[in-house]
Chains A and B, each alone.
Chain A
Amino acid sequence: MFPDGNRREFLDPSALSRLSGLPLFARRPMMGSVSGRHPSPHRGASVEFAEYRKYVPGDDLRRLDWRAYGRTDRFYVKEFEADTNLRCCLVLDTSGSMDFGSGDITKLQYARKIAGALSYLAVQQGDAIGLSCVAENMIQNIPPRRNPAHLMHVFDTLEKAVPKDGTQLTSVLHELAETIRQRALIVIISDFFVEPAELRSCFEHLQFRKHDVTAFHLLDPQELGFEFRRPMRFLDMEGGPAIFAEPNEIADRYHKALQEYLENFKQVVLQTGIDYHRTVIDEDYEKVLTQFLAGRTRARGVR
């Protein structure tokens, strides 16, 4: 985790140790390759009874429920739920806008902390973790694996992620929906400076592919407050044209546009049912993740 004894900036061992007490659950059945902590759509060998079904030739006779035969004179096979591991795919927005931060930390640094912690927690409980860095296209795509060496690779990739270029989040999400095997936990960490209507189709596409979608919406306090005193020249961090504005004059309309966007986003979230977390980056990420994990614990059990 800390190669050459150097600490990774985005990893806080004490915070990770506190978070590790909370399991990371999927909200919907996953299709893992090995046994794990997550519900599977298939029957398996867990201790949790699922159902009885009629014996058909070829079934293992050891699974025949003799007590039910004794009572009913019919052959039934007793089935149990299967527990599996999950594939967690982290989608990290590395566009230029993620380099913004009015305080001590940029959005990308904040995103690294969340992504790093989630990776660690997933691998810790035997789940596979993958990472996709997206900007104008897919910058990097690490498929989910569950060995610790892979985790190091993920951490290295996170560390080296550089914010630049514009965002083509929607096209990349569509691509990921198709490329990632069904039933994965997809965690998108981005500022989502995309029209909510475009995101709706992405989320719906991912849901259609049975993925459990989680969105961490990172916003800077200054983006929400927009408090400036002097006339400002705003340079687009994604290479667009600069805008000159008198903050006193434009603030009202800025806030109106922001509120409209957040409202639309909320509608999209409610309609698509994704796990949405609006996060202002001056908040403690540990708290954000605690809320995230606790919420998942409550939602577990839906198969």
Chain B
Amino acid sequence: MSFLQPMLLAALPIIALPIIIHLINQRRYQTTRWAAMMFLLAANRMSRGYARIRQWLILLFRTLAIAGLIFAISRPLASGWLGVTAGGRADTTIILLDRSPSMQQLGPGAVVSKLETGRQQLAKTLETLGSTRFVLIESTKNIPRELNAPEDLLNLPETEPTSTSADLPAMLQAAHSYIEANQSGRTEIWICSDLRENDWNAESSRWKSLRDSFLEFTQGVRFHLLAYPRAAPQNVAVRVTDVRRQQTSEGVELLVSLHLTREADSDDRLAVPVQLEIDGARSEINVDMVGSQYELKDYRIGLTENQKRGWGRVSIPADANPADNDFYFAFDEPPERHTLIVADDPTNVRPLQLTASISPDPQAKSIATVVTEDQLGTVEWEQMALVLWHAPLPDAAIAQQLTNFVSRGGRVVFFPPRSTSGREFMGVAWQQWQKTPKEVGIETWRSDQDLLERTLSGTSLPVGELLIREYCELSGEVTPLAELPGGKPLLARVTTDHGGVYFCATTPAPSDSTLATNGIVLYVAVQRALASGAEALGNTRQLVAGEQPIELATTWERLTSDEEGLSTEYAFHRGVYTAGDRLLAVNRSAEEEQASLLADERVAGLFNGLDFARVDDEAGTINSLIEEIWRVFLAVMMVSMIVEAALCLPRIRPTQGSAT
């Protein structure tokens, strides 16, 4: 049990008052001369029994009455939050609210989600506990926001559910920064989450540094975890893995690939009617699920000739978590893939032009434009998907244009010029050309991802067959995708937030390599870069909620969505939006379907050394986490007083007869 006014417990010694008064009263006796001593002696010899117990009982109930009063005014709490407020009211209370889709899971037999229950519980609890300042850090933006009162948790749109995964370490980092910046005094951090592994990133190295930095605070920071770890084994999630519009001899059709995931791996057969909605037209597929996964590949839906772009939704019937029952998608004609080839000598880039302009998909048209650096002013950057830069690294002005292009999702591949200029781009610069004594092959390359990844059939690209005769050395921080003997990078990628920047250390020129003559690798790499760039800059996009900069979403307009949300928060809510003439389908991340929870010991380990308390709650619970129970103590006091009064009542004695 804990108390809201623990200081008042200092008055507890007052419960000794009845005993002290009793002792003082014993001292304040009167002396009288007495004749009938024989009766007093006889009375003393008799068993005191009830009389003595009665005296003790009176003292006990008087003590209880005072104790009840003191406890009542100390405002006791009945809760599992051991020591929730030992030390009194907090100066600052920071609430970390997990708004991820998994928090929308409903309780068994309840219509209230984990998030809703958590918000209500927190509002009630914090209202009771009180604090000088309440700060909310919700999981989408991780920006501290001050609340006027805990009940704001129930009203603010920033506490509504989203489709964005949470990042608990980032939220805690935000809390840490807030405490550091605001000198928040004694702080309590309340975390409301369902302990999903993908939200907590328990393996992240940030946890250790966070723990260490919280330990450095001298003002005392207490952590309270309100956890909703209950799983929903029968919950099914639906996801669209691919949508393609395809023209066949029979007409236009849409190929939709689906993936259904059940939380628990069960052999029970589960019939799931999957509803597909495309521009308002609905169709239904009945799926029999056995096990935890179900994959539907290229389900064909006929389209009219005019339906070149549009959006759709796949939905399954309501189950434990309504947040993963829908998935939105958008489709469009494949956009033209524009490649810009910047070359100091356009005649040298013929192989590049060929690889960029021959499209592997007859539906997608590829156009490669060769320009010199001087002609860059006329380029329409918005249409470009890929830039192949076979010239000295750009100067500052053009570098800025390139950086903007990359941050919008574009791809750039740099090829070394004959004469290096000493300029650098994103911290990487060309060094000296090196001529190999004899032709060398590529020693290692990344075949698991990026440009040199294996094909879908699992076949490796013939990277090992390439021969390098000359290459230009690189300086700067890069991630090698292919390396020459001695660890010299041949193809490297620069780390960026968006888009992709690659450096290829040789050119397709026959004097430098066999990239052109053995053109498969070059073709695949260029087409892959072009495809990803085109996808990023294309008219339709499948977006993961929360991964877009929030500023971009401010211009979006909503076409459809199940979730209510502010227009400034469109990036966090699933649905279909338009941005200019582009269609955007925003959905939850794939990690949300991994229902694995953080083990209890792991959670305890994350807060090891910190002042940490945890309570597990369930969605739909009505009982408060904490409840003031001063009424009980007041009742104890009153009952004690009544019993004490009853015990003190003088007993009715028979009247004594006078003389016979």
Residues of A within 8 A of B (CB): 96-100, 107, 191, 193, 220, 223-225, 228, 230-238, 240, 242-246, 248-258, 260-261, 276-280, 283, 288
Give A238 to B51 CA distance when docked, in angstroms: 28
B37 A257 Cβ-Cβ under 8 A:
no
Q: Are B51 and A250 in contact (CB under 8 A)?
A: yes
Q: Decide if B38 touches A193 in the complex (CB within 8 Å).
A: yes
A100 near B35 with CB under 8 A, answer yes
Tell me the smallest distance from the CB of B294 to a CB of chain A, in Å.
84
Partner pick for B43 among A231, A253, A279, CB 8 A cutoff: A253
Q: Provide 14 A-B residue pairs closer than 8 Å at the C-beta atoms, listed in order of the A residue.
A: A97-B35, A100-B36, A191-B35, A231-B30, A235-B32, A236-B37, A237-B35, A237-B37, A238-B37, A246-B55, A249-B48, A250-B43, A257-B42, A280-B658
Contact of A233 among B29, B36, B46 (CB under 8 A): B29
Contact A249 B34 (CB under 8 A): no
> B269 near A: Cβ within 8 Å?
no
Counted as pairs of residues, one from A and one from B, with CB atoms less than 8 Å apart, the total is 121
Q: Which residue of B lies closest to A225 (CB)?
A: B656
**Which of B33, B46, B653 lies in contact with A100, CB distance below 8 A?**
B33
Q: Give the residue name and chain of the B residue nearest to A101 (CB).
A: B35
Given pairs A232-B29, A234-B37, A250-B40, 5 additional interface contacts (CB within 8 A): A98-B35, A231-B30, A236-B34, A243-B41, A249-B54
Max chain A C-beta neighbours (<10 A), residue from B28, B30, B34, B39:
B34
Q: Which residues of A contact B660 (CB under 8 A)?
A: 276-278
Query: Is A253 a contact of B51 with CB atoms below 8 Å?
Result: yes
Q: Report whether A283 and B658 are in contact in the complex, using a CB–CB cutoff of 8 Å.
A: yes
**If the complex has contacts A254-B43, A279-B659, A288-B659, are A233 and B35 also in contact, measured as CB distance less than 8 A?**
no
B318 to chain A, nearest CB (A): 73
Could you say which residues of chain A place their CB within 8 Å of the CB of B51? 249-250, 252-253
Beyond A230-B30, A235-B33, A235-B34, whether A278 also contacts B40 by CB under 8 A is no
Known: A250-B40, A252-B51, A257-B42. A244 touches B29 (CB 8 A): yes
- Shortest distance in angstroms between A89's beta carbon and chain B's nearest beta carbon? 23
Contact A254 B34 (CB under 8 A): no
Contact A283 B46 (CB under 8 A): no
CB-based closest 3 A-B pairs: A100-B35, A253-B43, A97-B35
The residue of chain A having its C-beta at the shortest distance from the C-beta of B40 within the complex is A243
Are A245 and B40 within 8 A (Cβ)? yes
Closest chain A residue, CB of each to CB of B52: A249
Query: Hey, what's the 0/1 contact readout for B1-36 against A, CB within 8 Å counting as 1?
Result: 000000000000000000000000110111111111
Provide the residues of chain B in CB contact with A288, threshold 8 Å. 659
Shortest CB–CB separation between residue A163 and chain B, in angstroms?
Answer: 10
Cβ–Cβ contact A280 & B36, under 8 A: no
Q: Which residue of B lies closest to A262 (CB)?
A: B657
Chain B residues contacting A230 (CB-CB under 8 Å) are 25, 28-30
In the complex, B362 has a CB within 8 A of chain A: no
With an 8 A cutoff between CB atoms, is B304 at the interface? no
A277 touching B33 in the complex, CB below 8 Å, given contacts A252-B651, A261-B38: no
Residues of B within 8 A of A242 (CB): 31
Q: Which of B29, B30, B39 has the most CB of A within 10 A?
A: B39
Cβ–Cβ contact B39 & A233, under 8 A: no
